[in-house]
C-alpha cells in the first residue's frame, strides 16, 4: 500500500486484521482467545481482510476525509487544463510560440499513476510515472517520462521525441494545481501550469481549445 503513510501502515494492517477477527468471534459468540474455535475462524478472517483491502484500494482511498492523515497523496485523477511555455522554435516561422494550450489526463489508482498530455498537434504518453514527497519540505510532486508523437501531417517540422516532466502539486484550500517544468531529447524545455478541468478522462484535445499554434 504505497499510498498509505508508512508510519501508519503496520498499525492499519494489524488493527484491521484483529478487528475483523474479534468481530467474527463476537458474531458467532466464540470466546476471545487462542482456543481451537477462534483459530478455526482465521481463514475466514483472511478472506474478509482481502476483500476489504480490495474495496479500500479500489474506491475508499479516494474519500477526502482520509487525505493527509492516512492517505499520503491526493486523488489527481481527471483532466487538467493549462498552458505550456517552451523554448522550442518553429522551424517554419523561426519564432517561439508565446503559449501553447494543453490538457493533461491523469489516470490514478491506489498504487499507480499514468499521464497522457494532449496539445493541438501532438500526444504524449507516459512511460513511467510516480508520486513523491520531499522529506524535509513536504512538497509533493508528480514526475514522469514520456514519448511525444506529433500529428503525422507536421512531422516534417516536429519529429517524434522523448521527454520528462516534474510537476509540483499545490493545494490552495480544497483545490489543487500543478506547475513545473519539462525537458525533451531535442534540447527544448519549458514551463507547465495546470488546473483541474474535469474529473472525466478526455481522450483527445478538446475542440474549445483549438487555435492556430505551433507545437512544443
Model confidence pLDDT, tens digit, residues 138-193: 999 999 999 999 999 999 999 999 999 999 999 998 899 999 999 999 999 999 99
Q: How far is CA 180 from CA 38, 57, 84, in A?
A: 55, 29, 10
Per-residue pLDDT tens digits for 85-123? 999 998 888 899 889 999 999 999 999 999 999 999 999
Report whether pLDDT(135) > 80. yes
CB 78 within 8 A of CB 176: no
For residue 9, what pLDDT is reported? Answer: 84
For residue 174, what pLDDT is reported? Answer: 86
Alpha helix stretches (DSSP H) within the chain: 6-27, 36-40, 42-58
Report whether pLDDT(213) > 70. no
User: Rounded mean pLDDT of the chain?
Assistant: 93
For residue 1, what pLDDT is reported? Answer: 41
Number of Cβ within a 10 Å radius of residue 208: 8
Report whether pLDDT(33) > 90. no
What three-state secondary structure class fits 48?
helix
Q: How far apart are CA 189 and CA 97, in angstroms?
A: 13
CA angle 65, 71, 74 (to 5 degrees): 80
Nine-digit cell string for 119: 496539445
Instruction: Give the N- to C-terminal CA distance of the chain in Å, as an integer.
Output: 36
CB 115 within 8 A of CB 130: no
Q: How far apart are CA 148 and CA 140, in angstroms?
A: 25
Cβ-Cβ contacts under 8 Å for 51 (sequence gap 6 or more): none
For residue 34, what pLDDT is reported? Answer: 86
**pTM, 2 dp:** 0.89
Per-residue confidence at 2, pLDDT binned at 50, 70, 90?
low
Per-residue pLDDT tens digits for 188-212? 999 999 999 999 999 999 999 987 5
Per-residue pLDDT tens digits for 37-88? 999 999 999 999 999 999 999 999 999 999 988 999 999 999 999 999 999 9
Amino acid at each position: 500500500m504505497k499510498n498509505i503513510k508508512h508510519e501508519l501502515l503496520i498499525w492499519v494492517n494489524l488493527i484491521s486484521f484483529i478487528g475483523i477477527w474479534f468481530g467474527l468471534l463476537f458474531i458467532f459468540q466464540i470466546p476471545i482467545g487462542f482456543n481451537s474455535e477462534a483459530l478455526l475462524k482465521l481463514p475466514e478472517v483472511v478472506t474478509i481482510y482481502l476483500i476489504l483491502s480490495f474495496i479500500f484500494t479500489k474506491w475508499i482511498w479516494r474519500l477526502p476525509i482520509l487525505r493527509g492523515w492516512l492517505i499520503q497523496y491526493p486523488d489527481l485523477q481527471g483532466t487538467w487544463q493549462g498552458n505550456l511555455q517552451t523554448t522550442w522554435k518553429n522551424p517554419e516561422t523561426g519564432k517561439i510560440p508565446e503559449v501553447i494550450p494543453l490538457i493533461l489526463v491523469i489516470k490514478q489508482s491506489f498504487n499507480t499513476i499514468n499521464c497522457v498530455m494532449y496539445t493541438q498537434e501532438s500526444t504524449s504518453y507516459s512511460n513511467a510515472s510516480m508520486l513523491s514527497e520531499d522529506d524535509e519540505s513536504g512538497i509533493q510532486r508528480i514526475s514522469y517520462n514520456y514519448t511525444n508523437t506529433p500529428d503525422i501531417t507536421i512531422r516534417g517540422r516536429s519529429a517524434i521525441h522523448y521527454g520528462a516532466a516534474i510537476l509540483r502539486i499545490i493545494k490552495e484550500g480544497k483545490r489543487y494545481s500543478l506547475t513545473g517544468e519539462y525537458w525533451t531529447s531535442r534540447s527544448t524545455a519549458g514551463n507547465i501550469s495546470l488546473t483541474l478541468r474535469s474529473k472525466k478522462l478526455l481522450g483527445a484535445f478538446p475542440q474549445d481549445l483549438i487555435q492556430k499554434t505551433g507545437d512544443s
